[in-house]
A and B are shown apart, each in its own frame.
Chain A
């Protein structure tokens, strides 16, 4: 069930294919007819259970309508039933490729409403966990997008290197995908001995691997034809649609919450925010690949500066019983963190009891998916696949 390599589309202006071969479009006699087809909800290149109703004229996409909700589990309603602590495992399952950031976003909201201060050592562990998770998430994106575009090797290479990232996260918290690592005021447990060396070794291993990924794609003619100028999203439309994260940065929005609205202790690290202005699939690709390098930089700084030992959770809320009985004062907060896909916001309303009154998660994927019809109108079916892959959505995040 891997993506079939689509034949190269003729160059978009008509005229010549690569190699100088003349192409003339053959138009069937009579009026062009619009055909409606379903793409998904079970489709390998929708990256989950997304259903697209596509109106096609021949191979030209005339319109797309997204049908959501196939993975809706009602997490926000479930949040109102349990205690604050009991909601953390649900956040893992929203954006399952970036569970650390989801944990973080929720814990940050609770800490803001309850005024909990996080020890420095815990902040380091949080940053390390999130950046490892960010690289792992981008690897899944790059690998699966590679399959969408017919570059199968990308998938093997990315998942090969992600294995060690998951092993590192497993060392931190005991799970490979659904971490539930963050707690209010810190993290669940300290890292085991030898973690620092192993993680540093992985970071040093990863840098040349990212160059290697690029050697497969960046100057590859087929890849350039499939991505350059495809799926354009101009800056003002990106802002209007609430698009955030690497997608917005690919469209020229120079904003990263880690740098501009730092949470944890991101202020302490030196890193660049890659920005491209083209707004096409290729720009988004460049941004994400560069982000992996920047995450390596942050990881290297964090791992070298990580204190030998320290409190990994704030002592006043550290015990398990205290976590479970947490009763923040009444209030409403909106906090946000930078997820691999963009701005992950949490609106938390507390009524002073031990259960959240309302938790609303603002997923980055939902807003990033919304301009899809605008981006693909007039393109061909393979371009729809390429554009959808470049938005890097997780359906667990869209539907919650």
Chain B
């Protein structure tokens, strides 16, 4: 990637959805050079340089970033981009405007930071909403363990190679992933205690919500 990626995309996207170009000589710029073949384009984060990475190449991109000195994985999270029509609207509600455009997708965001150079870098992968899956960050950052479990729990993104990918906050067996935009929160969930293990067990039973 030779041209400054953010500038190229600035014209194509509405204002506010652009990311700053990495400063000359910064680690983020070196990342853009070293990981050129893994980068799809600029991201949308407003206050830190962000790159959209090919989902298949995410572990390699994280490895390059960590080798360059981005040693702190500050945050790993995701959000659901779901255009109107998929979310069931309450009667009489106005159709929401969605400015993000493009296909329905889940965007997983990795916010990295370098303690030595005091620089930020954000990576993003775009996954399809049906059975999204991306490589795990745990081999590079052990702290990603619980963060990925939380993303799996609340948004249903699978992380390939995660040592113990089970729900973090909700009981095992919960039906659905609540932070999906089309999650039906009127649906009743039934929680019971397993007699053998003493673990919470959740199942959906008609008319027996808690």
Contacts and interface: CB of A to CB of B under 8 A. Distances in A.
A188 B3 CA distance: 46
B15 A329 contact: yes
Interface in B44-97: 44-48, 50, 71-75, 77, 79-80, 96-97
B16 A242 contact: no
Given A329-B15, A358-B79, A345 B145 contact: no
A222 to B, nearest CB: 33
B171 A352 contact: no
Interface string A220-239: 00000000000000000101
A69 B149 CA distance: 12
A345 B97 contact: no
B135 interface: no
A380 interface: no
B184 to A, nearest CB: 12
B145 to A, nearest CB: 7
Give the most central of B109, B118, B167: most A CB within 10 Å: B109
Contact of A69 (B97, B98, B143, B171): B171
Q: Which range holds the interface residue count of chain B?
A: 35 or more
A278 interface: no
A273 to B, nearest CB: 13
A156 B167 CA distance: 39
B46 A333 contact: yes
A362 interface: yes
A329 to B, nearest CB: 4
A128 to B, nearest CB: 26
Given A242-B73, A253-B115, A352-B99, A334 B122 contact: yes
Contact of B111 (A241, A345, A350): A345
Interface string B179-203: 1000101000000000000000000
B143 A241 contact: yes
Nearest to B174: A69
Nearest to B75: A362
A239 B71 contact: yes
A113 interface: yes
A366 interface: yes
B100 interface: yes
B115 A334 contact: no
B79 A360 contact: yes
A242 B97 contact: no
B154 interface: yes
Interface stretch (A26-34, A72-80, A300-308): A72-80
Interface string A253-265: 1010000110000
A345 B112 CA distance: 12
Interface in B95-117: 96-100, 109, 111, 115
Contacts of B45: 332-334
Majority secondary structure of chain A interface residues (helix, strand, loop or mixed): mixed
Contact of A242 (B74, B118, B167, B169): B74
A357 B111 CA distance: 18
B14 interface: yes
Contacts of B79: 349, 357-358, 360
B74 A351 contact: no
Contact of B97 (A113, A336, A352): A352
B170 interface: yes
Contact of B16 (A241, A329, A347): A329
B169 A76 contact: no
B100 A351 contact: yes
Nearest to A366: B146
B187 to A, nearest CB: 14
A74 B167 CA distance: 14
Contact of A330 (B17, B145, B185): B17
Nearest to A77: B178
A77 B179 contact: yes
A58 interface: no
A334 B143 contact: no
- With most chain B CB atoms within 10 A of its CB, the pick from A69, A333, A334 is A334
Given A113-B16, A352-B16, 12 more contacts: A69-B170, A242-B147, A261-B118, A331-B46, A332-B45, A334-B75, A334-B111, A347-B75, A347-B111, A351-B98, A362-B77, A370-B146
6 contacts: A239-B72, A240-B143, A261-B118, A331-B44, A332-B17, A370-B142
**Which are the 4 A-B pairs with shortest beta-carbon distances?**
A242-B143, A69-B169, A358-B79, A329-B16
